[in-house]
């Protein structure tokens, strides 16, 4: 039994003997469920996690660091997920990740064998959550899941081999692009584009239409200040100095 499993005896993981690879019964986990767990849920001291950094764990998944994810359905209908996530520091080491969620996709808790795993919301836990969310969003789960779709669960890791820096392609996926579906075999560090805007109203309109709006509404944060502050200048920045997102 791994060290993380020993710390989880109260969750019942130590009693699980069989893990099932069947995406058809995965719950409908959405972005809001992940946000509520990583940011809004309570820590052991009763305070909100506010682990905004773990939202970046999306890149762990997109970079091909999450292995096959299996599950076990408990007697109370909660679902325990088990996954392996490759360490960002040492590619030869993987971390054991366990996530407990309800039938509706809401997340109860998470654990990881990494040093930050006892905090329950490390990036490795987040990476497994993003994998589940990706599968749900792309209709890879449910009773209509085919054998071809099921194979996707086993193919979400990339082989990482040492290469000369000259041969490594550094690429940022475009908005909405899933580089996990790309057939290119590159060491691609996943990240999301950061758009620039020429007008203050363009920026605020984009934020209001974004799923990240709750982050900008948290008073006292840098994001909130950038959203509510007055424009520094009324001059219009030339468009050729900015990237405009349609």
Q: Which residue stretches of the chain have pLDDT < 50?
A: 44-46, 174-176, 183-193, 239-244, 246
Tokens of 73: 């359905």
Whether residue 164 sits in one domain with residue 204: no
Q: How far apart are CA 34 and CA 27, in angstroms?
A: 13
Q: Residue 48 has what pLDDT?
A: 53
Length of the chain in residues, anyone?
A: 246
Q: Residue 61 has what pLDDT?
A: 83
Q: Residue 46 has what pLDDT?
A: 45
Whether residue 231 sits in one domain with residue 156: no
Whether residue 236 sits in one domain with residue 150: no
Whether residue 204 sits in one domain with residue 161: no
Q: Residue 51 has what pLDDT?
A: 52
Whether residue 234 sits in one domain with residue 152: no
Q: How far apart are CA 148 and CA 143, in angstroms?
A: 13
Whether residue 160 sits in one domain with residue 216: no
List the end-to-end C-alpha distance of the chain, in Å, as a whole number: 51
Radius of gyration of the chain from Cα atoms? 20
Whether residue 211 sits in one domain with residue 101: no
Mean pLDDT of the chain, nearest integer: 73
Whether residue 120 sits in one domain with residue 216: no
Question: Which of 146, 168, 190 marks a domain boundary?
Answer: 168
What is the residue range of 157's domain? 3-168
Whether residue 139 sits in one domain with residue 26: yes
User: With contact defined as beta carbons under 8 Å apart, do 131 and 67 qualify?
Assistant: no
Whether residue 221 sits in one domain with residue 157: no
Number of domains in the chain: 2
Q: Residue 171 has what pLDDT?
A: 59
């Amino acid at each position: 039994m791994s060290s993380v499993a020993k710390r989880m005896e109260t969750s019942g993981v130590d009693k699980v003997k069989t893990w099932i690879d069947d995406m058809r019964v995965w719950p409908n986990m959405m972005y809001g469920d992940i946000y509520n767990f990583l940011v809004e849920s309570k820590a052991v001291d009763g305070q909100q996690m506010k682990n905004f950094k773990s939202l970046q764990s999306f890149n762990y998944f997109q970079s091909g660091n999450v292995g096959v994810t299996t599950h076990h359905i408990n007697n109370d209908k909660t679902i325990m997920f088990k996954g392996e996530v490759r360490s960002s520091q040492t590619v030869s080491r993987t971390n054991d990740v366990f996530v407990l969620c309800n039938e509706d996709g809401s997340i109860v808790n998470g654990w990881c064998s990494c040093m930050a795993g006892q905090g329950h919301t490390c990036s490795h836990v987040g990476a497994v959550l993003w994998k589940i969310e990706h599968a749900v969003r792309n209709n890879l789960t449910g009773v209509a899941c085919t054998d071809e779709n099921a194979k996707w669960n086993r193919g979400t890791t990339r082989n990482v081999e040492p290469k000369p820096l000259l041969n490594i392609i550094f690429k940022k996926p475009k908005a909405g692009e899933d580089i996990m579906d790309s057939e290119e075999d590159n060491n691609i560090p996943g990240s999301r584009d950061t758009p620039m805007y020429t007008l203050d109203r363009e920026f605020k309109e984009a934020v209001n239409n974004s799923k990240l709006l709750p982050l900008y509404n948290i008073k006292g944060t840098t994001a909130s200040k950038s959203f509510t502050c007055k424009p520094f200048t009324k001059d219009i920045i030339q468009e050729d100095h900015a990237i405009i997102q349609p």
